[in-house]
Amino acid sequence: MSLKFPPQRDAADRPALVTGASSGIGRASAEALAALGHPVVVGARRADRLDDLVGRIREAGGLATARPVDVTRAESVAEFVAAAGEAYGPPEVLVSSAGTLKMARVWEMEPDDFASQIDIHLLAVQRLLHAVVPGMVDRRRGDVVLIGSDVAYTARPRSGAYVAAKAGLETMAHQARKELEGTGIRLGVVRPGPVMTEMGTEFDPETAESVINDWVKHGFGRHPRMCKPADLARGVAAMVSMPRGAQITELEIQPEAPIEEDYS
Ligand SMILES: NC(=O)c1ccc[n+]([C@@H]2O[C@H](COP(=O)([O-])OP(=O)(O)OC[C@H]3O[C@@H](n4cnc5c(N)ncnc54)[C@H](OP(=O)(O)O)[C@@H]3O)[C@@H](O)[C@H]2O)c1
C-alpha cells in the first residue's frame, strides 16, 4: 500500500496568516516565516505597528501585507481571512498568537474580564479555525500553529482566567488534531514559558509586585532568564517546515537557566 501525503511545496507557494503580529511572538514569527520565503499576511488591531512590520519584512526581501483584525469579532476575522486570500491566495499556514493578560485571583476577577480572557485565548482561536480550516481541509493541506502557554499545566496564582483559557486551548488542540487526522492538516501547539514581550508590561507597579511575590512564593522565577520572541519564532518555523509525513504536535520552549559559577 502506498501512503499519500500532501506534496512538499516551496514556502513561496504557502501563504501564511499570523495574528498578534504587531508585537512579541506573533511579530517574530511573521518575520521568521517571511525569511523562510512564505508570503505573510500580518494581523492585529494596531495598523501602524503592522505597517512598520511589513516595511521591515519587505526591506529584508520578504513578501508581506498588513490586514488589521480584532480576533474577538467574528466579522473582523472573516474579513481578515478573505482579504488575506485575495492578497496571496488560500492560506496554507495559520499562526494564532493574539493575546492579552489580565491578572487577578479567580474569584476576585470581574466576571466580564474573566470572560474576555476566555474569549481571546480560546473562543477567538476557534473563530480563526472556523474561518480557515475548512478551506485547508478542502485543499487537503495546511499547517496550524497555536501559541499556548506552559501555564496550562503549571497554574500561576493571579492569572486564573488566562490559565483556564490556555488549558482549554490545549484540550481543543488535542481534540482538533484527532478530528484532522487524514486530512493533510497538521495542527500543533507551541507552548512558551516566560518570554520578554509587551505582555504584562501595562500592569501598575502594585499589581506587578503582588503578582511577582506570589509567583516566587509558589516556586516560579527560579532564575532571571526569559526567552526572546525570536526563540519562539524558531519553534513556529520548525513546526511549519517539518517535512510532510511527520509532524511536531507540541513544542514547549523554556528559558535556559544561566550557568551558576558556584554550582556543586
Ligand atoms: N510573553 C509570555 O511570557 C508568554 C508566555 C506564554 C504564552 N504567551 C502567549 O504568546 C502569545 C503572544 O503574546 P506575546 O507575549 O507576544 O504578547 P504581546 O507582545 O503583548 O503581543 C500580543 C499580540 O496580540 C495582539 N492582540 C491583542 N488583542 C487582540 C485582538 N483582540 N485582536 C487581534 N490581535 C490582538 C496584540 O496586538 P494589538 O494590540 O495591536 O491588537 C499583539 O500583537 C499570547 O497568546 C500569549 O498568551 C506569552
Does residue 105 sit within a domain? yes
Q: How many domains does the chain have?
A: 1
Atom 42 of ligand 1: nearest residue by CA position? 20
- Residue 94 near residue 30 (C-beta atoms within 8 A): no
Looking at residue 9, its pLDDT comes to 93
Looking at residue 78, its pLDDT comes to 97
153 is catalytic: no
Global pTM value: 0.97
Does residue 5 sit within a domain? no
Does residue 103 sit within a domain? yes
Does residue 263 sit within a domain? no
Does residue 76 sit within a domain? yes
Ligand 1 pocket residue status of 49, Cβ below 6 Å: yes
| Distance, CA of 206 to CA of 219 (rounded, Å) | 20
Looking at residue 82, its pLDDT comes to 97
Does residue 260 sit within a domain? no
Does residue 86 sit within a domain? yes
Looking at residue 47, its pLDDT comes to 98
Looking at residue 66, its pLDDT comes to 98
Low-confidence stretches of the chain (pLDDT < 70) are none
Does residue 227 sit within a domain? yes
Looking at residue 238, its pLDDT comes to 98
Closest by alpha carbon to 241, among 103, 145, 107, 122?
145
Looking at residue 218, its pLDDT comes to 85
Q: What domain range includes position 116?
A: 12-253
Which pLDDT tens digit goes with each residue over 184-231?
999 999 999 999 999 988 888 888 888 888 888 888 888 889 999 999
> From ligand 1's centre to the CA of 19, what distance in Å?
9
CATH number at residue 122: 3.40.50.720
CA angle 247, 184, 9 (to 5 degrees): 80
Which letter, b or e, does each residue of 29-67 get, where b requires 16 or more Cβ atoms within 10 Å of its Cβ?
bbbbbbbbebbbbbbbeeeebbeebbeebeeeebbbbbb
